[in-house]
Amino acid sequence: MGALLQLRDVAKCFRMGDRDEEILHGIDLDVCEGEFVALMGPSGSGKTTCLEILGALSRPTRGSYHLDGDPVHRLDDDALADLRAARMGFVFQTFNLMPRMSALRNAALPLLYAGLPRGEREARARRMLERVGLGHRLDHRPGHLSGGERRRVALCRLLLSSPDMLLLDEPTNHLDLEMRQALSMALVSYGGALVVISHDRHLLRSVCDDLLIVHDGRVNRFDHSLDEYPAWLRAQKASDNPQEVSTPNETRNSQGGKKQQRQVDAHRRRQLKPLMDRVRKIERDLASNREELESLNSRLADSSIYSDPGRKPELTGLIRDQASLKADIETLEWEWLEASEALEQAGTGL
């Protein structure tokens, strides 16, 4: 089977002050129709830049990109826009939902553009949303959905558009295990080419045919099991920063060892500080949301609000806010878990 996507000697440079810095270095990549490929690698390695080139959102500085034999790197801006609209589907870190439309209407948008009657497009969108656990949130606008729920709406809209290729950037962020499994099942039924940036082991095991490592601006196939990836990543960090892997005894026994050890410890704390700050911020947000939810629950415990017809709008608003807060708290709990795990792994790797 021939390649649907083909990159040859692709490089990407960005202007950094008074010089050009090359982010991607001579990438060769083939993705066939129906093949599911994962891009993995440390932060800042060039994963998103590679995904943006594949999605015709960014032009390579050097090299060629062919989609189904057509030279994408030679197309002008209008042709690229037409190509993206006709053949590609994206979910990046932003979801681009229509703020004044419900989850159901947002998901059904591609079917509207395809000319399907309202009843059919809403029925298909409803089935897709129910499949990913959003059957109870069909009438909610994006502003009343959690981050994980907005991500699921965006993915449903994407799958309903049936593009030739899907490009996903961390699609399972903020989703619990049940929803990750539901998303994996939805992607398995997709028949086009899929390129995904993800470190979600369940998703990778469920849907991906190939694991590609992006490191130092280069892309290579990962010829080991998925379970070996964390050890590989730690080894790469160690080789990139050999001064960080001296053992305490080696440091202390060298000349000026105590001073060097203090410098190493300070360097480790600086590296961990962003993660520690994130964990603490999530903990503060959780405490604030839980306090607000407790206040809402107290107001809803007042029996008079249910018997007074004049307070029905107030009751409706309180119930809506309660559901939104619960969803936000659930999302924050998952963010806290992921951030805590990242902090623990970073501390172990230093």
Verify that 193 and 278 share a domain, yes or no.
no
> What is the predicted pLDDT for the residue at 186?
76
Q: In the chain, helix, strand, coil percent, each to 5?
A: 55, 20, 25
Give the separation between CA 311 and CA 71, rounded to whole angstroms: 63
Count other C-beta atoms under 10 Å from residue 270's C-beta. Answer: 9
Give the separation between CA 1 and CA 278, rounded to whole angstroms: 46
Please report where in the chains the tokens 């809402």 appear, as a residue. 296
- Between the two ends of the chain, the Cα-to-Cα distance in Å is 44
> What is the predicted pLDDT for the residue at 60?
92
CA 148, 151, 153, 159 dihedral sign is negative
* Tokens found for residue 269: 């704390």
Verify that 292 and 194 share a domain, yes or no.
no
Angle at 168 between CA 54 and CA 188, to 5 degrees: 110
Verify that 59 and 168 share a domain, yes or no.
yes
Question: Of 161, 163, 165, 159, which is closest to residue 112 (Cα–Cα)?
Answer: 161
> What is the predicted pLDDT for the residue at 72?
93
Verify that 144 and 203 share a domain, yes or no.
yes
Verify that 207 and 320 share a domain, yes or no.
no
Residue ending a domain, choose from 209, 236, 263 = 236
**CA separation (Å) from 233 to 211, 237, 330, 341?**
14, 6, 30, 15
Verify that 58 and 162 share a domain, yes or no.
yes
Eight-state DSSP code of residue 244: G
Strands 19-32 and 165-169: unpaired
> What is the predicted pLDDT for the residue at 137?
92
Give the separation between CA 15 and CA 2, rounded to whole angstroms: 35
Verify that 30 and 170 share a domain, yes or no.
yes
Verify that 204 and 88 share a domain, yes or no.
yes
Verify that 129 and 250 share a domain, yes or no.
no
> What is the predicted pLDDT for the residue at 260?
58
* Tokens found for residue 214: 């992006």
- Coil, strand or helix at 283: helix
Residues of the chain with pLDDT under 50: 242-255, 348-350
Verify that 258 and 229 share a domain, yes or no.
no
> What is the predicted pLDDT for the residue at 124?
92
Residue ending a domain, choose from 236, 263, 280 = 236
Residue ending a domain, choose from 184, 211, 236 = 236
| Number of domains comprising the chain | 2
> What is the predicted pLDDT for the residue at 127?
92
Question: Of 334, 331, 335, which is closest to residue 146 (Cα–Cα)?
Answer: 331
**How far is C-alpha 286 from the chain's CA centre?**
22
Give the separation between CA 24 and CA 10, rounded to whole angstroms: 7
Question: Of 100, 171, 178, which is closest to residue 132 (Cα–Cα)?
Answer: 178
- Domain containing 141 equals 3-236
Question: Of 179, 219, 288, which is closest to residue 38 (Cα–Cα)?
Answer: 219
Kindly report the CATH number assigned to the domain that includes residue 251. Answer: 1.10.287
Verify that 294 and 145 share a domain, yes or no.
no
> What is the predicted pLDDT for the residue at 261?
55
Kindly report the CATH number assigned to the domain that includes residue 88. Answer: 3.40.50.300
Verify that 141 and 228 share a domain, yes or no.
yes
